[in-house]
Chains A and B, each alone.
Chain A
Amino acid sequence: QVQLQQWGAGLLKPSETLSLTCAVYGGSFSAYSWSWIRQSPGKGLEWIGEIHHGGSSNYNPSLQSRVTISLDTSKNQFSLNLRSVTAADTAVYFCAGSLAGTTHSWGQGILVTVSS
């Protein structure tokens, strides 16, 4: 089972871009799909999107216009960019690794707060 470690800025102003990165240790990077999931008190767990090793991606339609998930296979890392954030994007963000759709491994989570 892979281990995930994530990092990125935890405090943003409205209209800025949220950028998070997740490093993958152990296991086979190419066997998994890599996803981002967020959790806020008001909306529970929300799947943001995922990217497959070949580079294809799927996004939540509710966020698709603002989200990009990318891979860096040379570093066994993947990243999330969420543009034009508002207070509604305040949440704990998790990176995760999935096999056949099931999320088997989770990062530790980062609280991202959007506030002016």
Chain B
Amino acid sequence: DIQMTQSPSSVSASVGDRVTITCRASQGISSWLAWYQQKPGKAPTLLIYAASTLQSGVPSRFSGSGFGTDFTLTISSLQPEDFATYFCQQTNSFPRTFGQGTKVDIK
């Protein structure tokens, strides 16, 4: 199985801050990576796929980058509705695996 390691596990930030979350795969996955946002009690929602492609309807303050084993999710200017937990997922091979999540909370 491919292990996905996210860092940090949590980050405290203020509205307007730039936030960067990293995800590292235990082996190369090309661009087969997705990012999801999850709010308490809700299902995750897709933000980015193919490492850097923004899902339709997702604000442009979200961006993704990376290739191979190292990936980042960046929120350029944090908004109140962005306080949530973020997960990466590799879609390169079976079984699909997720990172452990990064909780973004209010400083």
Contact = CB atoms under 8 A, between A and B. Distances in A.
A109 B42 CA distance: 8
A40 B95 CA distance: 18
Contact of B44 (A49, A58, A100, A106): A106
Given A102-B34, A103-B34, A103-B89, A47 B44 contact: no
Contacts of B18: none
A49 to B, nearest CB: 8
B95 A61 contact: yes
A108 interface: yes
B96 interface: yes
Contacts of A109: 42-43
Interface string A56-86: 0011111000000000000000000000000
Nearest to B36: A103
Per DSSP, are chain A's interface residues mostly helix, strand or loop, or mixed? strand
B43 A108 contact: yes
Interface in B18-55: 32, 34, 36, 42-46, 49-50, 55
Interface residues of A, number: 23
B102 to A, nearest CB: 11
> Which of A46, A58, A100, A103 counts the most B-chain CB atoms under 10 A from its CB?
A103
> Which of B92, B95, B98 counts the most A-chain CB atoms under 10 A from its CB?
B95
Interface string A25-41: 00000000001000000
Nearest to B100: A44
Interface of B: 1, 32, 34, 36, 42-46, 49-50, 55, 87, 89, 91-92, 94-101
List the 6 shortest-distance A-B pairs measured between CB atoms, nearest first. A101-B91, A106-B43, A45-B98, A47-B96, A102-B49, A60-B95
Given A46-B98, A104-B55, A109-B43, 20 more contacts: A44-B98, A44-B101, A45-B87, A45-B89, A47-B95, A47-B97, A47-B98, A50-B96, A58-B95, A61-B1, A94-B43, A94-B44, A98-B91, A101-B32, A101-B91, A101-B92, A102-B49, A103-B36, A108-B43, A109-B42
